[in-house]
Chains A and B, each alone.
Chain A
Amino acid sequence: MNGAVEDLAAPIKNAEDKAKLLPAFLQVRGLVRQHIDSFNYFINVEIWNIVKANSKVNSDADANFQLVYTDVQVGRPSVEDEFRAATSVTPQKCRVRDITYSAPITVDLQYTLGKEVVKQNGILIGRLPIMLRCCRCLLAGKNDLELAKLGECPLDPGGYFIVKGTEKVVLTQEQLSKNRIIVEPDSKGLMSATVQSSTHERKSRTNIIMKAGKMYLKHNTIVEDIPVVIVFKAMGMESDQEIMQLIGSESEFVEAFTRSLEEAASLKILTQEAALAYVGARMRITRDMPRSLNRTNLAREFLAHTVLAHVPVVEYNFRTKCVYVAQMVRRILLALGDSSWVDDRDYYGNKRLELAGQLIALLFEDLFKTFNTEVKKRATQTLSKPHRAAQFNIINLFPVSIITNGLESSISTGNWHVERFKMDRAGVTQVLSRLSFISALGMMTRVNSQFEKTRKVSGPRSLQPSTWGMLCPSDTPEGEACGLVKNLALMTHVTTDDEAGPVAELLYILGTEDTSVVSGDEINDKRNSLVYLNGLLLGVHSNPDALTKAARKLRRKGLIGEFVSVCQIEGQNAIYVACDGGRVCRPLIIVENGSPMVTQTHLDELKAKTRVWRDFVQDGLIEYLDVNEENNALIAVDEESVQEETTHMEIAPLTILGVCAGLIPFPDHNQSPRNTYQCAMGKQAVGAIAYNQHRRVDTLLYLLTYPQRPMVETQVLTLVGGDRLPGGQNASLAVMSYSGYDIEDAVVLNKASLDRGFGRCCVIKKYTTSLKRYGKNNLRDRLAPLSATDRPPGSRYEALDADGIAPPGEKLVPGSIFVNKQVPSDAALTDAMTGSVTEYRDAPVTYKAPVAGYVDKVVITSNENEDFLIKTMVRETRRPEIGDKFSSRHGQKGVCGLIVPQEDMPFSDQGICPDLIMNPHGFPSRMTVGKLIEFVTGKAAVFEGRFGNGTAFAGDKIDECARALVKAGYSYTGKDFFYSGMTGEPLRGYVFAGPIFYQKLKHMVKDKMHARSRGPRALLTRQPTEGRSRDGGLRLGEMERDCLIGYGASMLLMERLVHSSDAFTIYVCQKCGLIGYKGWCQHCKSGVEVIMEDISVDY
C-alpha cells in the first residue's frame, strides 16, 4: 500500500477502534488480575523473603544445632488421603467434596548436628490454600475446552480460594499509606504531622504536634510529649543554628520555631547526653526491651529504631532522621501559614490497597514464626533428653498443622488476628456470592475500607475527585457502608512491591544529592527540590523538571518498572517517586506534542492480532499513571480535546465505571443514585450463574430457566460475559396505567407470558447429611434401606430408593423422608465404650420446606472430617406470582401487583401485547432517562435485526434509533397506538412501549410469606418463636397496638397482648391459696380434701 507511510501518523479514525484497547487490556489482565497478581507475587517472591528472613532455627539445648532453610517451594494443588499420599485435585472436586483447594509448601533445608550436616529437600511445612487461576492453579493457562473438561466454567474469573468446599474471597482492603508524612489538625485541633512507619521488623506511629506555639514529639512509647528540639539534640544535633537551618532559615520559620528552641534552653538541655537522659526518663519500659541497656541507651535505641522506623539509622548516624524530622517540622509550620499545605487523608494518593497476596503473606509470616518457635521448642526438648534412643530427625518434629490450620481457619472465618503485627481484623474474607454471575464478579472488585461503619463521617464516604478512573463512582452499597465499600473501575491496576534499590540508585545517577552531603540551607533552598522515594527523603535535586522528565522517559523505555510513579509537586518543591505495592493506577495513552502516540496503524495491528496489549506498554505508547502522577498529567477525554499541553488521553471514557455499573445501558443519562441502586440490584438478579451451574452443589442456587441476551448491550457486558450468562429477559413493556394494581412501582404481568416461560426460575437448595462416626469402635450412623412394601406410595417413605436415599427425579412433599438414617441409640452409645451390642434408632431426614420439590441430584462423597457425606439438591420450579420482585436495569424495582390474562391486556396496531406494564409515574421523580433511551434503542434494534449498544458515553444515538423506528412504521416518539383489551376501543393516549431488559430479583413471596395461628413456643420464655424458619409468631408491635387502642378493640387487645402471649396455667390450692401441683398441695400435704383450681396467669 502506498499510503502506509502517511498512515503511520494518521490519527485514530473513530473512537470505537480506540475502545478496542479495552478488550485487549481485559484479555491479558482479566477483571480480577489484581488478586491473582498479588497472590502470584506472594508465591514467587514474598514467601521466599519471609522464609529467608526467618531461615535459622537454633536450640537452647545444643549450641551446635542449627537448622537453616535454603529454599521454599509451593507445589501444585493436591489432596492427601489417609495414607498421606497426595493426588492432584481440581477445584470442582473440592467444591463438591467440601475440601480445601490447597498445595503443599515444601522447604529445602540443612541442619547441623554436632559435626554432621544433614541436607534434605522438599520437606512439607504446611499446606497453602491456592487461589484459583493463579500460577500454581490447575486452571492456569487452560483454554475453554480444557476448563470445561475440568468441570470449570470458562467465564469464571478465579481469584478466590476454596476452603472446605466454600468459595472465599479475600476482599481488597484500603489503608492509609505507610511511611508518608500527613500534616493535618488532630482531634484536638492542633496541627500535627503523622507518620505511620512500617518495615518488615517494626511498625510504629510517630506524631509531631504544635502545642501552644511549641513543637513536641508524640509517641506510644514515651509517657509525655517531648519537645522536638530535645529530640534533635538527642539525635546529635546540638547546635540550634543547625537545627534552624534544617528547618529553614527564613525569618518566618525562625520566628515560629523560636519558642521551641527557648523551651529546650530553659529546660537546660544542651547536649546529646542530657537530651538522651531526658528522653530516657520519659520512656515506658516494657518487658521486651533489652535489660542490658540503661535508660540513656534505651533512648538512643528508641530514637534509632522505633521513632520513624522506616528511616534507616546506620551506626547511630542520625543525620537522615534529623533531616526527616526537620522536614516534618517545616511542613507543620508551612501548614500553619498556608492551608494548602494541609494534607487530605481521604485523597486517594494517600491510600494503599492490601490484596490477598499481602494479607496472606502477613498471616504466613506470623505462622511461620510460630512454626519455628515450635520447632525450636521440640528440638530443645528432644536434644535435652540425656539418652536419646531414636535417631534425631528434625523433620519428624515439624508441626505441619500450624501453618495448614492457621491459614485455613483464617481464610474460612475471615479473622485476621496476628498479634505479632498488632492486627486484629474481622471480615477480611467473605463467601463468594453466587447469586448471579454479576454478583460473583462484583465481589472480586470490591474494596473494603477500615473505617468503622457506624461512624457518621462524611469525609471518607464521599466521592473523592482523586478516585476518578480508579474507583467506580456508582457502585457502592446504600446505608451504613455507603462510600466505605467501593469497587475498582474497569482498568484499574493495583501495583505489587517493586524493588526500591535500583530506583534509588538511578535517582542518584540522575543527579540527586544525598541529604547527608548537603547542608540544611541547601535542602530548603527554593531552587532545589526534595526527592522522596516511597516516603523516604533521598536527597535534593537542583533541576527537578529534568529529573522528572528523565525518570519518566526511562520508565517508558522500560528501564525501570512500568508501575514506578514520578510525581512532581510544584508548590512543595518536591518530587515523589514511588514503587511500593498497593497503589492504584490505570493505563493512559501517551500524548506528545499534541498528538496521541497510539495511531490508527497500531489499532489496525491490534485488530490483525499482530500487536497485543503488552506491546503498547513496551513501545511507550501507553503508560500506567497512579493517583499522584495523574496530578501532573493533563488528560484529554478524546482526540478532539487534545491540546498542545495535553500529556495523556483516556483509552475509553467508560472505564471510569466498574463492572456492575458498566452493565447499565446509558448510565450517562441516568440520575446518579439510580445507577447506584442498579449496581446493588444487578447482584440480586436471578439468571445463569456459570456454565457449570448444574454441576455445582451450592447451598442455594437461583437459576432463570430462559435467560436472554439483552437487546441493548454494553461493551462491558460483552467483555465480561454478561451476554453469555445473562441475568434477565427482554420483556415487551408498555408504560401505562393499568388497573389500580400498579401503584408504587408495582408491575402488571401478562399471564400468557408467564405460561410461556417469562420469569420462570429454579430454586435449588442443598441439604447435607452425614453419617457420623462415634468413638473408635466403628460405631456409626447407618442408612436403613427399606423394602418396597415398607415404602408404599403416599407414605412419607415414598421417595426413598432401595438404598435408603431418595434418587434424583423423585418428588418430595413437606414431610417426605429423603435420607432414611439410623443413629446408634443412646444405650448403644454408652455401650460403645465397652464395644459391644449396637442398637439403632430411626433418625430420618425429612423435607421441611413449605412447598414440594424434586430431588435434583444426590452427591455421595467423603472428606477428611466426614467419611460419608450425602448432599441432596432439591429443586423447585417457580413461575412468577403476585409479590415477586422485578427490576429493570435502571434501579427501578417493583413487585408484581397483578397478573392479567392476555385478552385483557392492551394490544397495539401490530398485535403486540405487552408482557409487562409499568406505571409512568415511575419516571418523573426517578429521572431514569437511560431507561427511556433503552426502550427506543431496543425497539429500533429489534427492527434492524441487531443488538443495541448502550455503552456509557458511547451508545447508539437516540435520534438514529428513533429514525429507525419511523422506517419500520412506528412513531418517532416510541409511543404507539394501543387498544384496550377489555373494551376493544382505542386508548386515550399513545403508549410508550418497547422491549426492555428485565431482571427477576431473588426476593420471591414464596420464600417470605408466612402466617401462623398457633405454633411452637420458645422453651425458656414460653413466648412464640421468632422468624419464618421456626414457624414463628407475628409480632403485634407497638404501632399495631396503638392502632387497636385507637380503634377501641379492647377485647382483641386483651386476647392478643394478654391471653395469647404468655398465659400460663398453674394450680392453686383452694384452701391455703398457695401454688401446688395438679391434685396435690404441698403446703396442706394433701391431695384428697383439697381441690386444686387451675388458674391462668397472664404476664
Chain B
Amino acid sequence: MGSGEDSDGKRSLPEHLERMRSRVEVGSKVPSNSEGVYYSGAYSSMGVDNSLSVSDLEKRLKVKILEKEKDRIVFELIGIDAPIANTIRRILLSEVPTMAIEKVSFFANSSVIHEEILAHRLGLIPLDVDPNLFDYMEEGAEPSEVNALKFRLKVQCTKVAAVPAEAKPSLKYHNSDVFSSMLEWEPIGEQAEVFGSKPPKPVNDDILIAKLRPGQEIDLEVLAVKGISKDHAKWSPVATAFYRMLPQVELLKSIEGADAIELKDMCPSNCFDIEESGKAVAVRPGQCTMCRECIRHGDWEEKIRLSRVRDHFIFSIESTGAIAPEDLFMRALQVLVDKCGNVVERLTESLDVSSAQARASTNKEHLSHLTRMSTGR
C-alpha cells in the first residue's frame, strides 16, 4: 500500500491510517482509536504533513445549525479537532459571565427554610439580564449601578376567607407558594433608565423558592453580581453544553431478508431501512445513539461497523435563558480570543521584560482583569 495523492497534490495517508486518523471505532466491547493524532510530524516518514494550517482549517471548517430553539441550539461543527471543540465547551461551562444573586440580606424569615438554604436557592435562579452591561464587583466595593442589581422579596402568607378546609393550600392561603416572579427589581442609580422597557427579572417566573403558611413571611433584599461559573455553578450561563461526534454506520456485508428485518427491528433509533430488494441500508446514521445493540449479538459485529467521525461535532448548547444560545457561542469564542490575547501578551512580555514592565504600569487595570479571567478568582 502506498500513499496516494489527493487533488491538491498533497500526499494523503494509506487507507487504514487515514481511517485511524479520522475515525473512532465503536466496538461492542470497547472503543478503539479514541485518541486523535495531533503531532505535526506523526506521518512524516510517509511524507505526509500532519500540521494544522490556517488555510486548511478555513477550508474544512463548516458550521451548520441543526436545531434552534429559544434556549437551545444544536449545530454541527466540522473540521476542527477535539481539543478546540472541548475548549469551547469548557469555556461555556465555566467562563462565560452571567449575573446571579450573590448577597442576601434578611429582614424577616419565618418560613421553614433556613436562611442559608433560602439564600442558596435564590442564588441558583437564572436572571434575565445581559452581564455585558455590568462590571465585576471588586473585593470590598460598594454595590453600584455598574456592578450590581438589587431585588426585593417581600411576601407574607395570609388566609383567604371562606375557603373550605379541604381545599388545596394554594387556594386556602394567599402567597402559600413563593415564586421567582415575586422578586421585585429595585433599580440602583440610573438603572431604571438604562434598562427601560426590559427590566431585569428572573428568566422563569415559576421557580418555587419557598412555601409559606399563614403567619409566615419572608422579607429580604438581594444583590446580584456578575461572576463566572468557575466560582460557583449559579453563574453558569448554560444548563449544559456538550458535543458528540458524528456517528457512522457502515454495513460491511450485504444484509438481506430475515437478517435485514431483524436488524431494522433491533435498532431502537430506527437507523436502518430495507430497500425494495430486501437489503438493509443505514439511511439515518445521524440518529444512531451508539447503543451498540446492532452489534451485541452473535456475529453481527462482523457485518456492521460503527464508528464516529473525529472532526465532526454535533454541538448542543442549552442556555439557562439569560443569554441566547447562539450568542453564548460567540461569547465563548470571545473569551477564547481574549485568553489567546493574554497568552500572546505574556509571551511578548517575557520576551521583552522592560517593555512589559512599562506596559504593566500603564495598563494595570486591563491586565488585572485578564488575569482574573484566567485564574478564575
Contacts and interface: CB of A to CB of B under 8 A. Distances in A.
Contacts of B291: 965-966, 969-972
Interface stretch (B11-19, B202-210, B234-242, B338-346): B234-242
A971 B31 CA distance: 13
A985 B34 contact: yes
6 pairs of A and B residues whose beta carbons are closest in the complex = A984-B86, A755-B233, A911-B242, A969-B289, A752-B233, A984-B82
B contact residues, range: 35 or more
B215 interface: no
A752 B89 contact: no
Contact of A969 (B87, B90, B269): B269
A988 interface: yes
Interface in A741-765: 751-752, 755-757, 760, 762
Interface residues of A, number: 42
A468 interface: no
B114 A902 contact: no
Interface of B: 24, 26, 30-31, 34-36, 82-87, 89-90, 93-94, 106, 109, 112, 114-117, 120, 124, 229-230, 232-234, 236, 240-245, 268-269, 289-293, 296, 308, 316, 318
19 contacts: A755-B232, A755-B234, A757-B120, A757-B124, A909-B290, A966-B268, A966-B291, A969-B291, A970-B289, A972-B291, A979-B242, A979-B244, A983-B82, A983-B86, A984-B84, A986-B31, A987-B34, A988-B31, A988-B34
Given A762-B114, A875-B116, A971-B290, 16 more contacts: A756-B233, A901-B230, A902-B94, A902-B229, A907-B242, A909-B244, A911-B240, A966-B268, A966-B293, A969-B289, A972-B296, A983-B35, A984-B84, A985-B82, A986-B24, A988-B34
A549 interface: no
Contacts of B35: 983, 985, 988
A990 interface: yes
B358 to A, nearest CB: 36
Given A902-B94, A903-B94, A985-B36, A911 B293 contact: no
> Which among A762, A901, A909, A983 has the highest number of chain B CB atoms within 10 Å?
A909
A648 B30 CA distance: 51
Contacts of A757: 120, 124
Contacts of B94: 901-903
A967 interface: yes
B268 A968 contact: yes
A596 to B, nearest CB: 41
Contacts of B114: 762, 854, 856, 875, 877
Contacts of B115: 809, 854
Contacts of A977: 26, 31, 244, 290
A535 B85 CA distance: 82
A108 B241 CA distance: 80
A809 B26 CA distance: 57
A755 B102 CA distance: 13
Contact of B93 (A694, A903, A970, A984): A903
A971 B293 contact: yes
B234 A986 contact: no
B240 A972 contact: no
A909 to B, nearest CB: 5
Nearest to A856: B114
The A interface is mostly helix, strand or loop, or mixed, namely loop
Contacts of A909: 244, 289-290
A965 B89 CA distance: 27
B112 A694 contact: yes
A653 interface: no
Contacts of A901: 94, 230
A578 interface: no
A989 B31 contact: yes
Contacts of B90: 903, 981
> Which among A902, A968, A985 has the highest number of chain B CB atoms within 10 Å?
A985
B70 to A, nearest CB: 18
B106 A752 contact: no
A987 B245 CA distance: 12
Given A875-B114, A909-B289, A988-B30, A983 B83 contact: yes
A966 B270 CA distance: 12
Nearest to A751: B233
Nearest to A879: B120
B165 to A, nearest CB: 10
A472 interface: no
A971 B242 contact: no
Interface in A949-965: 965
B284 to A, nearest CB: 13
A903 B233 contact: no
Given A985-B35, A988-B31, A809 B106 contact: yes
Nearest to B116: A877
A979 B241 CA distance: 13
B31 A990 contact: yes
A601 interface: no
Contacts of B318: 911
Given A901-B230, A911-B240, A984 B34 contact: no
A705 B117 contact: yes
Nearest to A902: B93
A433 B65 CA distance: 58
A696 to B, nearest CB: 13
A913 interface: yes
A969 B268 contact: yes
A23 B333 CA distance: 59
A971 B268 contact: no
Interface string A899-919: 001110001010101000000
Contacts of A877: 114, 116-117
A756 B109 CA distance: 22
A694 B113 CA distance: 10
Interface string A685-701: 00000000010000000
Given A854-B116, A969-B289, A989-B31, A984 B89 contact: yes
A589 to B, nearest CB: 40
B241 to A, nearest CB: 8
Contacts of B268: 966-969
Contacts of A982: 86
A810 to B, nearest CB: 11
B293 A972 contact: yes
Given A809-B109, A911-B316, A984-B89, A990 B233 contact: no
A854 B109 CA distance: 13
A901 B244 CA distance: 20
B117 to A, nearest CB: 6
A757 B292 CA distance: 35
A877 B234 CA distance: 18
Contacts of B112: 694
B325 to A, nearest CB: 13
B93 A760 contact: no
A906 to B, nearest CB: 10
Contacts of B240: 907, 911, 913
Contact of B233 (A902, A907, A984): A902
A12 to B, nearest CB: 36
B36 to A, nearest CB: 6
Contacts of A751: 233
B290 to A, nearest CB: 5
A969 B293 CA distance: 9
Contacts of A971: 290-293
Contacts of A756: 124, 233
B31 A752 contact: no
A936 to B, nearest CB: 14
Contacts of B117: 705, 760, 762, 877
Nearest to B112: A694
Contacts of B124: 756-757
A966 B291 CA distance: 7
A985 B244 CA distance: 10
Nearest to B232: A755
Contact of A903 (B82, B89, B243): B89
Contacts of A705: 117
